[in-house]
Structure 1
Amino acid sequence: MGMNRRKLTTYIFQYILIIVVLSFFMLPIYWTLITSFKESWEIVKMPPSFIPEKPTFNNYLNILSNVEFTSKIRNSVIACFGSLAIALITGLPAAYVISRLRFKGSNSLYYTYITFRMLPPFVFLIPLYVFYRSSGLYDTYIGLILAYCVITIPLTVWMMVGYYDALPRELEEAALVDGCDRRKVFLHIVLPLSVPGIISTSLLNLIFTWNDFVFALILTSYNAATIPIGLLGFIGYTEIKWGMLAAATIIASIPLLLIVLFVQKYLVAGLTLGAIKG
């Protein structure tokens, strides 16, 4: 009886701890959600209400009818998937070469990629800003995409080298014995086996680029500005449009949330396999 009572007490304590921790992290999300359904007068009312008294969709309607904000959603999609495509096209073969083809300088090349990944973004911003201003890349899609590639390509190489190292080499060796060259081995054997790792790497790249504020703030002005810059527009000199800001935040969070829900079965496998030897 004493042992069962101690186990029951431990379980109760664990569940209480889990509820407290989840509440701590979920409260800001919940507060943003309910704020997006409140009118302006209710948002500033004291004491605050945890359930909207008169729920309204006006904030969402105003956001979706705001041409400037919807254009920033388009800009974010173009910049995110453009940089992701370049990162995968260049990073996947580079990671495979570093993992499988050991040559003089391969370790130095790998550590160079890691160095670029670990450097803070501010290191690149000043030279990029000066170069973009003089070359006409400032406030353009291609300029923002190339800036993101400074981070996404090293991240892709870093993630996929560990993943390739964890893959068994026997299938590749058998294909090479049968007459396949390295290109066919990579395209027809390695890439299909690497789908979980590619999905995990792509998701991490998308999270960085979708949420990026610093690169977009410094390297864009209006034409290529992204969602985080659009959120900044709801904070004015005389007022903060809390309802529209909350609604815009929820709308900005939905795409990544849906992507995670669709690829979650690949996410854990992709992150854990690459961590075995990476």
Structure 2
Amino acid sequence: MRKKWGFRLFQTAMTALVLLVFAFPFIWMLVASFKTQSQIMSTDSFFVFDPTSVNYTSVFKEYNFLKYISNSFIVALGSTLFSLLLGLPAAYAIARHHLHKLGLLILVARIIPGITFLIPWFILFSQIKLVDTHLALILSHMLVGLPFIIWIMISFFEALPKEIEESGLIDGCNHHQVFLRIIMPISGPGVITASLLSFIFSWNNFMFSIILAGDKTKTLPIAVFNFMSYSEINWGALMAAACIITLPVLIIALLAQRYVVSGLAAGAVKG
């Protein structure tokens, strides 16, 4: 009994230690967002200081952060929705027709570093006058989001029993109706998981935005980058902006946590 109690205590202590290590950067970010520049640079104390909201005020008044939030939301939501529209039928076809070579090809497209697409993508969008538009960013983010959604949903669709589809066909549905009315409703956890991960990637993407975005379509990661200059880094505003960027994704992740866990578990086990 004592050994079991001791093991549980050790397990709890190790879990707390790991959580502290991973959570410390977020704690430091949150605390620093309420400090002045001099307080952040000081090593005298970490938690003992006079909190101020001047950093958040500066972010919204001086840097027009609402515009960047709007741009990031449009691009992230647009790329996720279009990726779902194309990716879900593709993943279902690959899973049901056992097109494993095509699935491997899609995985290779996901593995290729996105930076290899930057110059061709920029030349293409320059020719058709799409640089500094939301559409250009949405399409570029789909280069990663679409293969990601397809690869996640292939495993999920393969885990679904074929008898479910056969019963729908017997009841008079065609294949399109079976997919829309039977398969999609029971694939909710997998779709939510794929959507959330794709949205987070697009929300945090920096590489495509720094090349294809301009003053009209600048997204949050690019806006945060502007807080760093050659001579100085505005740490207070930078930490406040980082908290603002993290908050929406954190809320979405907490609300969809149980769906993400069940979606990943369902996709990992084939029936």
- Cα deviation digits, residues 143-199 of structure 1 (max 9, x gap): 010001111111111111110010111121011122210010011000000000000
Aligned counterpart, 2:94: 98
Query: Which runs of 5 or more structure 2 residues have no equivalent in the other structure?
Result: none
Asked if the contact 1:231–1:245 (Cα under 8 Å) also holds between the matched residues in 2, the reply is yes
Query: What displacement does 1:52 show?
Result: 4.3
1:248 corresponds to which of 219, 241, 250: 241
1:111, distance to aligned residue in structure 2 (A): 1.9
Q: Is contact 1:176–1:185 with CA below 8 Å preserved after alignment?
A: yes
Runs (4 or more) in structure 1 with deviation over 6 Å come to none
The alignment yields a C-alpha RMSD, in angstroms, of 1.6
Name the CA shift for 1:157/1:43 in 2 (closer, same or farther; >3 Å): same
Which residue does the alignment assign to 1:270? Answer: 263
Asked if residue 76 in structure 1 is aligned to residue 69 in structure 2, the reply is no
Is residue 2:155 matched to residue 1:158?
Answer: no
Partner of residue 21, structure 1: 18
Measure the CA separation in 2 of the matches of 1:166 and 1:146.
30
- The aligned counterpart of 1:86 is 82
Tell me if the contact between 2:160 and 2:270 (Cα under 8 Å) persists in the aligned partners: no
Q: Deviations over 1:251-275 (max 9, x none)?
A: 1101011111211121111011111
Cα distance in 1 for residues equivalent to 2:5 and 2:168: 56
Amino acid at match of 2:17: V
Corresponding pairs, count: 271
SS in 2 for 1:277: coil
CA contact (8 A) 1:62 1:244 kept: yes
Residue in structure 2 matching 1:63, options 47, 59, 62? 59
Conserved 8 A contact 2:90-2:150: yes
Checking the alignment, whether the CA contact within 8 Å between 1:34 and 1:52 is kept in structure 2 is no
For the pair 1:111 / 2:104, whether they are aligned, the reply is yes
Equivalences for residues 194-273 of structure 1 within 5 A: 194-273=187-266
Aligned partner of residue 79 in structure 2, secondary structure? helix
Does 1:37 find its partner at 2:38?
Answer: no
**Percent of aligned pairs sharing the same letter:** 40
Does residue 170 of structure 2 align to residue 174 of structure 1?
no
Deviation at 1:65, TM superposition (A): 2.1
AA aligned to 1:84 is T
Give the distance between the partners of 2:133 and 2:101, measured in 1 at CA: 33
Q: Which amino acid aligns with 1:237?
A: Y
Give the TM-score normalised by the residue count of structure 2. Answer: 0.95
1:17-40 CA-to-partner distances (Å, cap 9, x unmatched) read 222211111111111111001122
Q: Distance in 2 between matches of 1:277 and 1:119?
A: 27
What is aligned with 1:51? 47
Partners of 1:192 and 1:117 in 2: CA distance? 27
Give yes or no for the alignment of 1:125 onto 2:118: yes
Shift of residue 124, structure 1, vs aligned partner: 1.3
One-letter amino acid of the structure 1 residue matched with residue 42 of structure 2 = K
d(CA) in 1 for partners of 2:263, 2:58: 39
Q: Secondary structure at the match of 1:16?
A: helix
